[in-house]
Amino acid sequence: MSQKSLFRGGANNYLTHPIKQSGITLIALVITIIVLLILAGISIQMLTGENSILTQAGRARERMQETQKEEEMKIAILGSYENGNDLNINKLLTNLNEINDIVATTTTENGEKSFPVKVETEHTTYKITQKGELEKVERADRKGLNVGDYITYESPIYKTETPFVTISEAESGYQNTQNLPAKNTFRIMDIDKYGNMTLIGAMGTSDEKIYFKGAIGYNNAVFTLNTKCSELYRDNSKEITARSIKMEDITSKFNDSGNEKITTSISTEVSELEPKTNVTKGTKEDNITLNNTIIYSNGNTDCPHIFQYEAGGLIDDIPTQGVIGQSDSYKGYGGLTAFTNIIPKPTNLTIPFTYSKTSHVTNDFNDTKRSKAYQNIFFGTGTKYWVASRCVRGLSEHVTYSLRIVSKNKILANGLYNSYGFPSSTCNQVCPIIYVPSSVEVEISTNPKNQTNTDGIAHSVK
């Protein structure tokens, strides 16, 4: 057979019986891709799901960090005992605040700190009891709550048959005993990142008004307002505490423009008496510039007893002690009766001029997201209410000792006593501030009442 024949025969044989080749068919490829996708899904779920490797690792890291913080807190507690038995709250707060990434706080009423001490970490809230016990506190859900929302809170005294406290003449300087009733409607002023809430009284035109009068009123108004608000609204079982509103509650929400209005509104009036009054620049306190005015005038130097404990003054050229601020009570006296009307009449008197008269608008607040809410809860009430912060004003012939007030959109002050020795009496409503810890649950309304939705329903504290 010739080569040509062989080739031709081989060719025909190739065409009739082709050589078999291996490869991936379309079906096999699809199946392979499906399997890979399933495996990828399983892997992603293992990495990112609720019980994933990454989630579990994150939780383990958090537990390790919390365990470390707990050990540091226990060491701080052990280092805060005195005489082996008594836990010193001031020393405890100092030791705790030296630990990184925690915040330690406690309630303070008229300058006195009290247990429990609350400790906030990134993920957990703790409380430390007077016995030195460290306890975890469950944080309540605060989703759906916003600054400016209305909220109902019924304090223990509100639910009694006598939902009020009495204010005596010794506490107010006013000649009659007064009754201050509890209220149950508030607004949310702040919610911190841990879930602790600050509430402010939702002021109404029909709310009870309370009188303060004279030197006793100036001496004791801050103490009385804070104490009575505490008695009306605290709930020891839930660790809810209360006090009166003070100047710093408002000014802390202002931007530079808002605080500048207060600073520049302080009058520069000086005495025309002889010898000529000497005016000097003072220090800065509570965002208010102090201008010292010296009065030399024929015994026109009466001043309330508490003035000697305030800052920035001179009594017969002896500096006042400066142990309290304008929004503080004197910590050292055992009761209201320890404050007499006035100190012995000095020959000359220097006062820190802290009176201001100013009006405010929405743009004065530093949080643009909440500025309308702040303007509304402080100045949109249409009422006049006391602010538990004192101030003094030097006029051409006398000094006026006053208590601050909010009147509609203005911060003002009402004079209670002057350096001639004349008392004045005036009445305003009382505005409470309430602290609700993160452990207290709130029933959240799906249609909340606030400054833009007056037909809504208030949230309520459980």
Q: pLDDT value at position 311?
A: 85
| Nearest-angstrom CA–CA distance, 14 and 127 | 90
- Coil, strand, or helix at residue 220? helix
Which pLDDT tens digit goes with each residue over 67-116?
888 899 999 999 999 876 789 999 999 999 999 888 998 987 766 788 89
Which pLDDT tens digit goes with each residue over 300-318?
888 898 998 888 888 888 8
- Tell me: pLDDT of 17 over 90: no
- Tell me: pLDDT of 8 over 50: no
Distance of CA 281 to the CA centre of its chain: 31
Q: pLDDT value at position 287?
A: 33
Mean pLDDT of 341-348: 80
List of residues 6+ apart from 69 with CB closer than 8 A: 99, 101, 102, 121, 124
Structure tokens at 327: 């929004």
**240 and 440 Cβ atoms separated by less than 8 Å:** yes
**461 and 188 Cβ atoms separated by less than 8 Å:** no
What percent of the chain clears pLDDT 90, i.e. is strictly above it? 52
Q: Sorting pLDDT into bands at 50, 70 and 90, what band is 15?
A: very low
Backbone angles phi, psi at 87, to 5 degrees: -85, 115
In 3-state terms the chain splits into helix, strand, coil percentages (rounded to 5) of 30, 30, 40
- Tell me: pLDDT of 260 over 60: yes
Q: Sorting pLDDT into bands at 50, 70 and 90, what band is 47?
A: low
Q: pLDDT value at position 274?
A: 32
Mean pLDDT of 51-74: 75
- Tell me: pLDDT of 50 over 90: no
Taking alpha carbons only, the member of 313, 245, 301 closest to residue 273 is 301
- Tell me: pLDDT of 157 over 80: yes
Q: Sorting pLDDT into bands at 50, 70 and 90, what band is 48?
A: low
Average pLDDT, the chain: 83
Which pLDDT tens digit goes with each residue over 351-379?
888 898 899 999 999 877 889 999 999 99
Q: Sorting pLDDT into bands at 50, 70 and 90, what band is 57?
A: low
Structure tokens at 422: 């004349």
- Tell me: pLDDT of 336 over 50: no
- Tell me: pLDDT of 272 over 50: no
| Nearest-angstrom CA–CA distance, 212 and 425 | 6
Residue 436's H or E segment, with its range, is strand 432-436
Domain boundaries defined on the chain = 53-137, 139-462
Which pLDDT tens digit goes with each residue over 205-251?
999 999 999 999 999 999 999 999 999 999 999 999 999 999 999 99
Q: pLDDT value at position 269?
A: 45
In this structure, is the dihedral angle defined by the CA atoms of residues 174, 176, 182 and 187, taken in order, positive or negative? negative
Extended strands (E) in 20-124: 81-82, 86-87, 103-109, 112-120
Q: pLDDT value at position 59?
A: 65
In this structure, is the dihedral angle defined by the CA atoms of residues 261, 263, 264 and 269, taken in order, positive or negative? positive
- Tell me: pLDDT of 203 over 80: yes
Mean pLDDT of 162-187: 96
- Tell me: pLDDT of 292 over 50: yes
